[in-house]
Structure 1
């Protein structure tokens, strides 16, 4: 096409997007989602106080419903992003998440809050994989580990400031304020994305994933989480508990069989044929269960056993995530040179060591400097060696057409882990009394040790250095603003 073509005059080429600016915008939106999760852990006790007649297990569904809905919706949302445009999906997710946050703040009952949390999860499901796919599409393959590590460090920043910010918000304005804080962040991210983020999509279009498969996956996760969360209330050996868990496993098996035989499955199980993708996601599941259990249990231990106020709890929880925030970028660059496995294997063992420390020294007498702080710093080092590198290990070798779907699967598995991390924490703690508190929390800390070791074992199966993304399919870049799209 010549330079005097009328099409060229109507749509002049834009300069290439600045990858680091795009990373900053994508990370801002991801920060909002990750912050929301962290601050709600801190707000959980205040939320329970507003509804004193509702049981602990029932109230935990304000956490679990979100992670289940997010996990079930991430994969189809990732496919939507690849097919219809990652920027477009990102913006839609931003709007949905921000509006749902306002509805959560206005909820007048636990049932309404759970329902609005599900809507919020659907917005996050569109936003998170699209933001990561956008980052992957603008960086060369050799810089992907560092870029994804920085993107992951934003989660650590959210974990660092979340407890303190959440504690201050809850202490001043109550639990509803933790949702209202999303409104200005969401608006800023939306306006920046409109101006600076380029559009990209898959080069070869395929059909939308199987809707029935999506429903089966959501049903299986819901039944399994329900059985684990309610196990103490219903009794673990009761017909109701065993029936719900068995039903979840049966539905999950039906989902797998259907996915294997469907031309456009809800979850493309062939992705797991790749060695790096398969083992990185197994490690993701193991580590996220332990990480979520640690975070949730630590809030409960500090408030219920040591008697800390919510603001003090937030402050004393900050050092561990701050370690991750500081170390993640440099460790991401190191992973780009030596491969993710070299960091993941020792990282899981370091994280397990943090659980062993807690088992060895923690008592019911408050001692933050001598007991909790060293364990938090060891755990922070373990997390910085693991979490930022799991996603890059999983997606780096995928064809570019599958960036959205692959990152969505990894984030979905992370949410599966978070769901069961919360559910298992509720189950392991049961009804905590002053006399039994330490024994009950020992169960959770042993789970951290097991999850850390399992992470290292899974990481041993990774290639020594992840291969670059398959260059056969180059993502289609479309600089056209949404308002100008045909």
Structure 2
């Protein structure tokens, strides 16, 4: 669902394409849209499929702890979140087609390496490379799509591009469950190869290079390293909280290291000439609160997915395909809800949808806390909570992305949206860490889920509180 709005910059591209000698757009831009969107579909599909693969990985790597396996998810997300911010600048500087092709190639090569991994360490290393490829291709994909369409159609195209990612997220759990149960966990990665290979072949012959900037932007390597260290160290301290191999003092030092690295990142961003994150963005009140809310909601969102599979397979003893099908109704409600919300938010602002959706999300958490028991009763005990959570996510998640950039100057849309999406990814890392810390032990009981649902509800209510200062109403913009 990463939507990096680049329209102001692309307006100038339209005027310079012919003058620069770069090939003009094809007669129909839709083949370009589908080629670029297929790669983005794979990135979103891969993320949600891996939630379904967690239990299969525990059986495949029996010697690894749940905390170790959590890094199969978290190493990817940390690197993806960090690299997503400079990736758009790399595409503008070095050519969007070139960066897109490099990103897809790296993503596919890393997918093959993931499937062939014989140890958890190699699997995590391959996931890091996969994250770099995903970060490179995501903003380049949207840039290519927008450059292919006239100005009058770009708003519609952005919505369709985002819908492709939403569809992938919706079908990921059920598709992943079916593939993993029938062919094994490596096929959660191998499935990328034929689809991505076709997209790569068509992209090489179909896409034309977008205008490249003459300005060479510096990559903030120090900022990237500090952010990875900060998020990684804090996450490690959380997921290893009950591990016998770590003492409390060691975990405290690890958490302190993460906090120090976070403070160093802020200090560096204040003084660097071209920082990874422009901190002046957070002077905007709406942007500041939206990003705090995005961090809280991103944490709760990833907790929901992972907790679902833990509950279905360990308490109700569903098979993996059954669990994948059981989760599908919730994500399928996200897209239609988001489309309706977007229409009304244009006139009414985003705050009422953000706050109302957050409260509904908290209600779904309380439902799961109080209603489902140890006996499987899906229609009466689980489906109502799943419907509530699906509608709530449709109200909140797209609105956070839209509200984040609604009060920024147009020139800051791209980096502002990238930072917001990276913030959500960091929240996802924390959500996986909390879930594994609370449910990663053997022989999970129904009572073990209570703490997770209480934390989930608290994060949802915190999201609502943080959204109260958000004001994106049209009359407020005129004022």
TM tier, smaller: 0.7 to 0.9
The answer for the alignment partner of 2:240 in structure 1 is: 230
The answer for the alignment partner of 1:484 in structure 2 is: none
The answer for the alignment partner of 1:183 in structure 2 is: 193
Find the aligned partners of 2:66 and 2:336 in 1 and give their Cα distance. 35
CA drift at 1:55 = 1.1
TM-score by length of 2: 0.87
1:448 aligns with 2:456: yes
Find the aligned partners of 1:458 and 1:22 in 2 and give their Cα distance. 39
CA drift at 1:77 = 1.6
1:421 aligns with 2:462: no
Contact kept, 8 Å, 1:77 with 1:408, in 2: the verdict is: no
Find the aligned partners of 2:387 and 2:456 in 1 and give their Cα distance. 15
The answer for the alignment partner of 1:48 in structure 2 is: 58
The answer for the alignment partner of 1:316 in structure 2 is: 326
Structure 2: tracts of 5 or more residues without a match: 1-16
Find the aligned partners of 1:431 and 1:9 in 2 and give their Cα distance. 62
Find the aligned partners of 1:279 and 1:141 in 2 and give their Cα distance. 31
Give 3-state SS (helix, strand or coil) of 1:267's partner: coil
Contact kept, 8 Å, 2:23 with 2:209, in 1: the verdict is: no
User: Aligned to 1:61, which of 68, 71, 75?
Assistant: 71
Give 3-state SS (helix, strand or coil) of 1:233's partner: coil
1:348 aligns with 2:358: yes
Contact kept, 8 Å, 1:354 with 1:379, in 2: the verdict is: yes
Contact kept, 8 Å, 1:73 with 1:125, in 2: the verdict is: yes
Find the aligned partners of 1:17 and 1:451 in 2 and give their Cα distance. 48
Contact kept, 8 Å, 2:406 with 2:472, in 1: the verdict is: no
CA drift at 1:212 = 1.3
Find the aligned partners of 1:242 and 1:254 in 2 and give their Cα distance. 18
Cα distance change of structure 1 residues 182 and 430 upon mapping to structure 2, 3 Å threshold: closer
Superposed CA offset, 1:177-233 (max 9, x none):
010111122233334545666655687846313211211111111111111111111
The answer for the alignment partner of 1:210 in structure 2 is: 220
User: Aligned to 1:247, which of 257, 269, 272?
Assistant: 257
The answer for the alignment partner of 1:118 in structure 2 is: 128
User: Aligned to 2:345, which of 325, 331, 335?
Assistant: 335
Give 3-state SS (helix, strand or coil) of 2:472's partner: coil
Superposed CA offset, 1:59-107 (max 9, x none):
1111111111112222222321233334432232112111111111111
Contact kept, 8 Å, 1:276 with 1:463, in 2: the verdict is: yes
User: Aligned to 1:127, which of 131, 137, 145?
Assistant: 137
Find the aligned partners of 1:273 and 1:25 in 2 and give their Cα distance. 38
Find the aligned partners of 1:453 and 1:183 in 2 and give their Cα distance. 41
TM-score by length of 1: 0.86
1:462 aligns with 2:470: yes
Contact kept, 8 Å, 1:145 with 1:335, in 2: the verdict is: no
Cα distance change of structure 1 residues 282 and 357 upon mapping to structure 2, 3 Å threshold: same
Cα distance change of structure 1 residues 388 and 20 upon mapping to structure 2, 3 Å threshold: farther
1:369 aligns with 2:379: yes
Give 3-state SS (helix, strand or coil) of 1:116's partner: helix
Cα distance change of structure 1 residues 241 and 72 upon mapping to structure 2, 3 Å threshold: same
Structure 1: tracts of 5 or more residues without a match: 1-6, 470-486
The answer for the alignment partner of 1:108 in structure 2 is: 118
Moved more, 356-365 or 447-456: 447-456
Cα distance change of structure 1 residues 201 and 327 upon mapping to structure 2, 3 Å threshold: farther
1:281 aligns with 2:291: yes
Contact kept, 8 Å, 2:312 with 2:323, in 1: the verdict is: yes
The answer for the alignment partner of 1:476 in structure 2 is: none
Find the aligned partners of 1:12 and 1:55 in 2 and give their Cα distance. 53
Moved more, 8-17 or 349-358: 8-17
CA drift at 1:421 = 0.5
Find the aligned partners of 1:459 and 1:143 in 2 and give their Cα distance. 31
Find the aligned partners of 2:299 and 2:306 in 1 and give their Cα distance. 11
1:271 aligns with 2:281: yes
The answer for the alignment partner of 2:8 in structure 1 is: none
1:91 aligns with 2:101: yes
Contact kept, 8 Å, 2:403 with 2:472, in 1: the verdict is: no
Cα distance change of structure 1 residues 154 and 13 upon mapping to structure 2, 3 Å threshold: closer
Find the aligned partners of 1:458 and 1:17 in 2 and give their Cα distance. 46
User: Aligned to 1:261, which of 262, 266, 271?
Assistant: 271
